[in-house]
Amino acid sequence: MNALEIVQEVCRRVGFPVSNTATNSTDPQITQILSLLNEEGREQSARTDWTNLQTELTFTSVATESQGAMSTIAPGFRYIINETIWNRSEQRTAPGPVTPRQYQQLKSGLSSLVDPVWRIRGGNLVLQPAPAAGRSYAFEYVDKRWVVGADATRKEQFAIDTDTHLLDDDALLYGTLWRWRQAKGLEYAEDFVKYERKLEELIGRDGGRPDLYLHSGNHDFPDPTVPDGNWQV
């Protein structure tokens, strides 16, 4: 569903006349629904590491501590997915994020490492020790731009009626409905419970978990597998 279709469905469910535009409307009821829809999208996109919002990129290192602003290196940057930064030129990992204390310990010379470690400081990606120039680094990150324009441009909120999104249609609809009822001072508990159940279902299915293989050494039967996770013993 695009922005207009979601707003129109909200209108149907709350008993409003269906508008033929959302982003260009001057009707305060429609502009409120659109505002609540964008609020829901922003908060829902930050709820978990949605696989639809995970992005891979590469950059070329410079021979300085700071590699540049994350907003420039990784457009739409929310945060780096841990243990994904690699120096592909030398096929070596870049450990991190380290704590400020660990980072300063390395800078002081009390510790030494061959491979640079990383952290985000002041919105910049910094590596210590400074890497050689021209190395190809790669990492994955979560992108906060959950909206997609007709030209595939990523955005942080709906701006045009035809904008689509990378989240779940029903979750966005349910989230907008309970927020609208709350804003109007109406009972919204039932809508909120429905919304939370939907999100829990989506989060549980998103990405899945790797199987743990319990190798028995007996090749006559397949080894049992269990989902990775925390288990009570």
pLDDT tens profile 14-38: 999 999 999 999 999 999 999 999 9
What stretches in the chain show pLDDT beneath 70? Answer: 111-113, 208-233
Claim to verify: residue 75 and residue 117 sit in the same structural domain: yes
Q: What pLDDT does residue 208 have?
A: 52
Residue 233 lies in a domain: no
Tell me the longest C-alpha to C-alpha distance in the chain.
Answer: 71
Render pLDDT for 120-156 as a digit per residue (tens, 0 to 9): 999 999 999 999 999 999 999 999 999 999 999 999 9
Claim to verify: residue 179 and residue 105 sit in the same structural domain: no
Residue 186 lies in a domain: yes
Claim to verify: residue 99 and residue 74 sit in the same structural domain: yes
Claim to verify: residue 102 and residue 125 sit in the same structural domain: yes
Q: What pLDDT does residue 222 have?
A: 43
Claim to verify: residue 139 and residue 103 sit in the same structural domain: yes
Residue 23 lies in a domain: yes
Q: What pLDDT does residue 35 have?
A: 98
Claim to verify: residue 56 and residue 139 sit in the same structural domain: yes
CA–CA dist 53, 144 (Å, integer):
7
Residue 216 lies in a domain: no
What's the structural domain count of the chain? Answer: 2
Claim to verify: residue 149 and residue 183 sit in the same structural domain: yes
**pTM reported for the whole predicted model:** 0.83
Residue 220 lies in a domain: no
Residue 230 lies in a domain: no
Domain of residue 58 covers 51-143
Claim to verify: residue 189 and residue 130 sit in the same structural domain: no
